[in-house]
Chain A
Amino acid sequence: MILEIKNVTMKFGGVTAIDNLSFGVKSGEIFGLIGPNGAGKTTIFNIITGNYKQTEGEVYFLHESISGLKPNVIVRKGIARTFQNIRLFKSMTVLENVLIGFHNQANYTFFESILRLPRYFSNEKRLKAAAMDILERFGIAKFADYNATALSYGNQRKVEIARALATEPKLLLLDEPAAGMNPIETEDLSNIIRNIKNEYGLTVLLIEHDMKFVNNMCDKVLVLDYGEEIFEGKPADAILDKNVIAAYLGDFTNA
């Protein structure tokens, strides 16, 4: 188990967003978090990444508790994420966005950059090459010097994932990666995610609404509704589970 959520509850004032949730993600898995809107999926992400502190419960990453750590520290432990509403750095180019991901991999100090000492040059060269490499994998290397906002929505999504990849994570959290994409882009994205998962030895935890995508990608899914788990298992089985159907469509049994 690379990630373990144990009895996590999240309350915002009077609202219980997550209710006693427990699940685990195995190393190398592609794990899907699905459920109706407002079910608490992004909240779980925010708890894992340290943006929210859960009211109760523990989060373990690589068997180490990460509850209460600051978000940028958690990134260094090996967890990276993308956002539901793409949050690229709008004033910077595609390449610069990815280079931010490499921020902690750049081994030169503030003074070394001011004085332009050799470590600055060697690190910048290495990281620019690494960043271009990632961009090529995503098929968007030609946009490297474009302002990030100039790209199509689908490509911006790719930049965001590339940027997250640059942090050299072990666990990648993708928040609705296929949102707003047409079927061709979605297919393209699935292939890319599978490839980078294999190539970089990643585990992927993703939130999605596109059931075809989920079916295609995920080894396992967890269905949430009103902050509670209502199903855990294979995607194909999830669609047939009556609780899941009830959560999405309403309960017809007592109509």
Chain B
Amino acid sequence: MLIEKKHFLQIFFLIATIWFIWYAQNHLDPYTVSILNNIAIFAILALSYNLINGIAGQFSLEPNGFVAIGAYVTALFLIPGSDKLDMFALEDPAPIVMAMHTSFLPALIMSGIVATAIAFILSVPVFRVRGDYLAIVTLGFGFIIRIYAINNPKYTNGAMGLNDIPSVANLYWCGFIAVITFIVMINIIYSKFGRAMKAVRDDEDAATAMGVNTFWMKTYAFMTSAFFEGIGGGLMASLLTTISPDQFTFLLTFQLLIIIVLGGLGSMSGAILGTILVMGGSEWLRFLDQNMNIFGYNTGAHPGLRMVVFSILLIVMMLFARRGLFGNKELTDIFKRTKK
């Protein structure tokens, strides 16, 4: 057969997705399009997060940190110099900030590169040891980024954040980058690097015993995750047109964690499905955070109830449905007869 069943399916999905992006951007109402944009960006983040957590098996809490970095880098590259002078209220912008100006694609790539560089710097101390501490280091890293952003107004405008970011991002940008991210991840997985990352996940010592350089496999995974999380952050900055340090809290990482666990740790198809389900579910459960009228009794607004439900969901999943929806398989694996 010239084209295997598996390839046919992949090409079909690709074409369908591209068509859908075009159709949505041009024919659907703005509210739906904004939801799709959010889904696309979260999909990029979830796919990236799945690589380090699900494929390489290294528990990390990094996304909010790298997304923040990406958002700020892109925002600073997009905002024209004159706007920066007006916007920076606490301190004048630093010379380098004034000099930063470029178009969208280079800005996004810079976001990715800066995030990747920082990821590498974190990899060295953490992965040299055993990686147990990755979660704590990345958790702390997320806090540090916020502290840095607040304390360095000449680079970041401090707690006031950046606004009037040029709105370049649309469904074409978000959608196509999501598709590219997915393809990159799949290509990594079905290669010696993906196999090695999975080996590190399954049994790191046995992987080393087979000659795998586990430090570099973990580091590649971490750096790649950071790269696309940075880009996702850049897209977010341009989509929201305003960013501030308080937007990139642990809540973002937690949402991504739920997404990839629900989809199945280690499954890229699962990450996409998980994104759609969690974003949809999150909207649907919004009522929990507001005043509810139960049998004529007003509960009052209790923000946080929605997240209580989500955290219970996560705990229950870990206890009873650890493999999530897809386990660690891809959609096309269902059509391959891998015998259990």
A residues near B, CB below 8 A?
A: 49, 51, 70-72, 75-76, 80-81, 83, 87-93, 96, 99-104, 106, 108, 110, 113-116, 120, 123-124, 145-147, 150, 163-164, 166-167
Given A92-B198, A147-B339: A113 in contact with B193 (beta carbons within 8 A)? yes
Q: Is B213 an interface residue (CB 8 A)?
A: yes
Tell me, rounded to whole Å, the shortest Cβ–Cβ distance linking A150 to chain B: 6
Residues B206 and A93 in contact, CB atoms below 8 Å apart? no
Nearest 3 CB-CB pairings of A with B? A75-B211, A113-B191, A87-B206
Q: Is B160 an interface residue (CB 8 A)?
A: no
Contact among A93, A110, A163 for B220, CB-based, below 8 A: A110
CB nearest to A167 among chain B residues:
B211
Q: In the bound complex, what is the Cα–Cα distance between A90 and B211 (angstroms)?
A: 18
Q: Is B289 an interface residue (CB 8 A)?
A: no
Residues A89 and B199 in contact, CB atoms below 8 Å apart? yes
Q: List 21 A-B contacts (CB under 8 A).
A: A70-B208, A72-B208, A72-B209, A72-B212, A75-B210, A75-B211, A83-B209, A87-B203, A87-B205, A90-B203, A91-B198, A92-B195, A96-B195, A99-B192, A103-B210, A103-B211, A103-B212, A113-B191, A113-B192, A116-B187, A146-B339
Residues B195 and A99 in contact, CB atoms below 8 Å apart? yes
Residues B188 and A167 in contact, CB atoms below 8 Å apart? no
Chain A CB within 10 Å, residue with most, of B195, B199, B209, B220: B209
Chain B CB within 10 Å, residue with most, of A93, A100, A123: A100
Residues B198 and A72 in contact, CB atoms below 8 Å apart? no
What B residues does A114 contact at CB under 8 A? 184, 187-188
CB nearest to B187 among chain A residues:
A114
What A residues does B206 contact at CB under 8 A? 83, 87-89
What A residues does B34 contact at CB under 8 A? none
How many residues of B sit at the interface, in one of the four size bands? 20 to 34
Q: Is B340 an interface residue (CB 8 A)?
A: yes
Q: In the bound complex, what is the Cα–Cα distance between A75 and B199 (angstroms)?
A: 16
CB nearest to A163 among chain B residues:
B210
What A residues does B338 contact at CB under 8 A? 93, 145-147
What B residues does A76 contact at CB under 8 A? 211
Residues A120 and B191 in contact, CB atoms below 8 Å apart? yes
Tell me, rounded to whole Å, the shortest Cβ–Cβ distance linking A111 to chain B: 10
CB nearest to B183 among chain A residues:
A114
Q: In the bound complex, what is the Cα–Cα distance between A164 and B203 (angstroms)?
A: 15
Q: Is B202 an interface residue (CB 8 A)?
A: yes
Chain A CB within 10 Å, residue with most, of B187, B202, B337: B202
Binary interface encoding of chain B residues 210-222 relative to chain A, with 1 for a CB under 8 A from any of its CBs, else 0: 1111100000100
Given A75-B211, A145-B337, A147-B339: A110 in contact with B193 (beta carbons within 8 A)? yes
Q: Is B207 an interface residue (CB 8 A)?
A: yes
Given A113-B187, A147-B340: A103 in contact with B195 (beta carbons within 8 A)? yes
